[in-house]
Amino acid sequence: MNKKGFLDISFAWIFAFLVGGIILFGAIYGVARLTSIQSTQSSAEVGSSFSNLLSPLEAGLESGRSITITLPVESRIENSCDSFVNFGSLTLTIREKIRDEWSESGVGISSTNKYLFSPNPLEGKEFFVFAKEFEFPFKVSNLIYVLNSQETYCFLGAPNEVRRELLNLNAPNFKFSDCPASSTKVCFGGEMGCEINVDYTGRTVRKGGNTMHFATDSLMYGAIFSDNINYECEVSRLMKRTKELSGLYYEKSLSLLNIGCDSSVSSLLLAFNSDLSGFQNSQNLNFLESQAGMINSINRNSGCRLW
């Protein structure tokens, strides 16, 4: 009888332990799941707010101006680009640092009309943001550049127009002499020991073993601040937008002919549009920039300007 009672008590305790363990596991899983959901929701809200703060820059209201964006906590911004559908899209995913660990997942915030250049991933709490128009030869869009406000870029041998433009932003991120040891050196004169080398005449930026070609200072900044993969993707998106706009301006030039006003660039716009159809990567920009310059010069001196 005693042995049977002992066994009965043992099975009761075992059953209690099993049930208690299941309940405890469920409670822990539920808390972890809730925390994960709250973290994801928080990342989505921060990502949406961050994207909304960039909208005035993209819309053309703040070209040539800068802003500072401060997020609630240390964050990691991952920038991914897709150039395959229509004008492509930009997706920003923000992960937050909570208790010294990055949140497991973030919700991507996508945009089809923003063109953003930044280190990838980009970490920090405070970010310096500025925008510049990309004209090719007409305005295509505002390009947005995002940097960690604590990171310094030291421009050595920069052309006067580049130096003047960056100085006008009143940003502590940019130096032109006495480079801090922790700064990223951007060299225009072929100096040794620079992380980024710009051939301003040859229109190339060499960085991290990659060579990126650019047209206009807007894309030069993009190549300096971005990584090779996203740079090429954003340039491809911009060329698709440029092609669409060139077609619209071509149609406009034909409508002006109907009222006896010759803009003189119709045939050039048609050829430009055709060449944009064959765009493959940034190496094609040199030839396209030459065409854009010619079109812009003729349009500027025309009695019937298209833009």
> pLDDT by residue (tens digit) across 224-244?
999 999 999 999 999 999 999
In this predicted structure, what is the pLDDT of residue 189? 83
Q: Which residue has the higher pLDDT, 190 or 270?
A: 270
pLDDT at residue 25, as a whole number: 40
Mean of the pLDDT values across residues 12-24?
46
At 4, the pLDDT band (50, 70, 90 cuts) reads very low
Distance of CA 245 to the CA centre of its chain: 22
As given in the structure block, the two tokens for residue 81 are 């680009």
Indicate whether 53 pLDDT > 70.
no
User: DSSP letter at 119?
Assistant: -
Is the pLDDT reported for residue 43 higher than 60? no
More confident residue, 101 or 198: 198
pLDDT classification of 115: cutoffs 50, 70, 90: very high
Tally of CA atoms within 13 A in the half-sphere of 81 that contains its CB: 23
Q: What is the pLDDT of residue 37?
A: 40
Per-residue pLDDT tens digits for 145-188: 999 999 999 999 999 999 999 999 998 999 999 999 999 999 99
Pairing between strand 116-117 and 122-135? unpaired
Read off the pLDDT of each residue in 79-94 and give the average, rounded to a whole number. Answer: 92
Pairing of strands 153-156, 184-187: parallel
Nearest by Cα to 304 from 264, 269, 258: 264
pLDDT at 60 over 60: no
Domain layout of the chain by residue ranges: 29-150, 152-215, 240-300
Residue type at 23? I
Split at pLDDT 50, 70, 90, the class of 253 is very high
Give the mean model confidence (pLDDT) for residues 219-223.
98
If we measure between CA atoms, which residue out of 204, 198, 174 comes closest to residue 186?
198
pLDDT at site 105: 66
Mean pLDDT of 111-134: 95
> To the nearest whole percent, how much of the chain has pLDDT over 70?
79
- pLDDT at position 98 is 83
Q: Torsion angle, CA of 249/254/260/265, rounded to 10 degrees?
A: 60
